[in-house]
Amino acid sequence: MKLRWSWCILVVLMGALQLPAQYTLSPQLIGSTGSWITAGNYSLSASSGEVVITTCSQANYVLTQGFQQSWESVVALGGSVAFANPSCEGENNGRARAVPQGGIPPYTYTWSNGANTQEITALAPGTYYVTITDAIGLTYSDSAVVNEGVGPCELIFYSGITPNSDGKNDFWAIEFIEQYPENTVAVFNRWGGKVWETRNYNNSDRRWEGNDDTGNALPPATYFYIVEVNGKTYKGWIELTR
């Protein structure tokens, strides 16, 4: 049966009440906008989703009944892998980046090549697998297929050489020249005199290390080069510093 007091108000759940067996209380849930209710000398404010009950009061006697509202939260971890192929044929500068979605950060990354960073670089063509793990142990696995680069690589000519045997810039590097084994490279001084020349330059056993054709060290200065590859001629300058 319902409580028979003179008027009713809405009261926030605050604690437990031992009621006689013949009394009942009706629970309800405040809607999405919350609520504010005033009745006589009593006022009640309730936030969205707060559990309250309708009860009745006479004079200064107020009945409340408390109970716990159950809830459940579902956390899912997903993701994807973004990647880029090498810039040209024969080059190993592909890259891949794991992109987590959902879950709880921070994340850890385990790649099939042994890397543990979010992004991996200097990749040769191939398939790379990654497992993303979030802070509570959820995992997501994915992969990326890095394909061969398209088209021949453009030659890159560096403009400085410091042949002092420190392992840095000790020879003049021509990047990707190995892809064009049929080539001719000549170096000239500022007066146009040829000081060094070779065929099949390869950055290994055929490279310019700041010497002339007889093996003598050339003085620090600005030198000029002419490189011929597949019927195409490249010209530029090199600063030799000792």
Give the SS3 label for residue 106. coil
Structure-model confidence comparison of residues 238 and 6, the more confident one = 238
| CATH code of the domain containing 116 | 2.60.40.1080
71 inside domain: no
User: What tokens were used for 187?
Assistant: 């170096």
Show which of 95, 120, 146 is a domain's final residue: 146
Average pLDDT on 33-61 reads 49
Structure-model confidence comparison of residues 150 and 217, the more confident one = 217
Please give the Cα distance from 8 to 24 (Å, whole number): 14
81 inside domain: yes
Average pLDDT on 211-215 reads 96
1 inside domain: no
Which residue segment(s) compose the domain that 174 sits in?
156-240
Domain count, the chain: 3
Show which of 117, 146, 175 is a domain's final residue: 146
Show which of 146, 175, 200 is a domain's final residue: 146
- Same domain for 170 and 209? yes
DSSP per residue over 172-241, as a string?
--EETGGG--SEEEEEE-TTS-EEEEEES--SSSS---SB-TTSPBPPSEEEEEEEEETTEEEEEEEEE-
Structure-model confidence comparison of residues 23 and 136, the more confident one = 136
151 inside domain: no
Q: Is-contact 56 7, C-beta < 8 A?
A: yes
pLDDT at 152: 84
Is pLDDT above 70 for 227?
yes
pLDDT at 90: 83
| pLDDT band per the 50, 70, 90 thresholds, residue 162 | very high
213 inside domain: yes
- Same domain for 222 and 168? yes
Is pLDDT above 80 for 39?
no
**CA 106 distance to own-chain centroid:** 12
Average pLDDT on 114-118 reads 97
96 inside domain: yes
